[in-house]
């Protein structure tokens, strides 16, 4: 087990600073609650770590700034920050022979876990020097976490915790730009649940919410962690596929369709889904890809639900097909 010391700085009889243990060994996730004398007098000079960290509320940028200061104490192989909002890794990180794990705590509130990796051992003196640096990060880290949490709340669907429509619009535009810049494949999937309205009508909205949660779980379990998942509202969902998965989008779509179809809870309520997909062509803009995926989704619905369709209708034909569907439903 990796052990971490807790220390405090005090003066010896000659007035020289010295390290002295203030407690017993803790477990691998050492408690880094900082004493008041460190909080009250941080070094806030222009080039200090505190001042550098206060220039940004971005967690990744703060981690990179901190890693440069920590690297002056000991040459690090890697540095990872684990928070409730996600995991962040300093640029250039890789595995090291030795690890040092700590918990960053401020005013009895756990902010994050920090994992150092290096080819050299973390001696008690090195741990104490890192502890001093960590104490300078705590307030800036807490502020960044608060801002990040608020940003995530504004961009997530409160029920499923998938991205909301606002987040989709931003992510979709960026994904199109990246795909064009790197000439890489990109596919948009649009999902619409089949028979969802009857769940709300027969079983109530509480069960309807459970259905939406189950669909979101199926999407997470079926797709890669790097794929972007969204709920627009109601029973409409979207997925952004890039790189290798985009080349096999039909296969991915069929796998997702089957995962939802075979789920016992969703089968009990006779809920399935229809999927429309559209590939990015070099001359297309984001709105063109979205319209094509929307067209494909309606083709899937018109063909009897529970299907995957790639857009092939021209827009005039699509308008006719949609008008026919509306008349049939009326």
Q: Is 36 exposed, middle or buried (0-12, 13-18, 19+ CB in 10 A)?
A: exposed
> Kind and range of the H or E element at 270?
none
Supply φ then ψ for residue 276, to 5 degrees: -115, 140
pLDDT at 9: 30
Return per-residue pLDDT of the chain as tens, 330 residues: 333 333 333 333 333 333 333 333 222 223 333 333 334 445 555 568 999 999 999 999 999 999 999 999 999 999 999 998 888 999 999 999 999 999 999 998 999 999 999 999 999 999 999 999 999 999 999 999 999 888 877 888 989 989 999 999 999 999 999 899 888 999 999 999 999 999 999 999 999 999 999 999 999 999 877 678 999 888 999 999 987 677 788 999 999 999 999 999 999 999 999 999 999 988 899 999 999 999 999 999 998 889 999 876 434 344 444 444 434 433
pLDDT value at position 243?
79
Q: What is the pLDDT of residue 84?
A: 87
By the 8 A CB rule, do 53 and 137 touch?
yes
Please state, in angstroms and rounded to a whole number, the distance separating the CA atoms of residues 189 and 296: 9
- Give the pLDDT score at 228: 87
DSSP bridge pairs for 10: 18
**8 A C-beta contact, residue 113 and residue 29:** yes
Beta-strand relationship, 308-310 and 272-279: parallel
Q: What is the pLDDT of residue 44?
A: 55
Helices H / strands E in the chain, number of each: 12, 12
């Amino acid at each position: 087990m990796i052990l971490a010391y807790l220390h405090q700085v005090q003066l010896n009889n000659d007035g020289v600073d010295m390290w002295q243990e203030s407690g017993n060994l803790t477990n691998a996730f050492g408690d880094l609650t900082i004493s008041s004398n460190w909080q009250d007098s941080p070094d806030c000079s222009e080039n200090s770590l505190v001042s550098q960290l206060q220039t940004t509320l971005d967690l990744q940028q703060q981690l990179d700034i901190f890693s440069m200061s920590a690297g002056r104490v000991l040459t690090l192989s890697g540095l990872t920050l684990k928070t409730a909002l996600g995991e962040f890794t300093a640029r250039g990180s890789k595995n090291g022979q030795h690890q040092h794990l700590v918990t960053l705590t401020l005013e009895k509130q756990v902010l994050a876990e920090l994992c150092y990796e290096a080819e050299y051992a973390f001696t008690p003196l090195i741990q104490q020097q890192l502890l001093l640096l960590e104490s300078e990060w705590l307030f800036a880290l807490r502020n960044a976490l608060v801002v990040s949490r608020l940003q995530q709340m504004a961009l997530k669907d409160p029920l499923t915790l998938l991205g909301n429509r606002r987040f989709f619009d931003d992510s979709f535009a960026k994904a199109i730009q990246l795909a064009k810049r790197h000439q890489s494949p990109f596919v948009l999937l649009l999902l619409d649940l089949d028979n969802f309205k009857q769940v709300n009508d027969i079983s109530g909205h509480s069960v309807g919410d459970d259905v939406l949660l189950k669909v979101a779980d199926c999407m997470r379990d079926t797709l890669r962690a790097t794929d972007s998942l969204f709920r627009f509202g109601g029973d409409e969902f979207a997925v952004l596929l890039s790189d290798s998965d985009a080349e096999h989008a039909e296969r991915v779509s069929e796998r997702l369709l089957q995962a939802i179809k075979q789920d016992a809870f969703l089968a009990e309520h006779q809920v399935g889904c229809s999927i429309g997909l559209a590939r990015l062509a070099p001359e297309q803009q984001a709105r063109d890809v979205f319209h094509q995926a929307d067209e494909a989704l309606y083709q899937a619905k018109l063909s009897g639900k529970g299907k995957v369709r790639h857009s092939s209708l021209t827009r005039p034909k699509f308008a006719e097909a949609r008008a026919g569907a509306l008349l049939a439903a009326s």
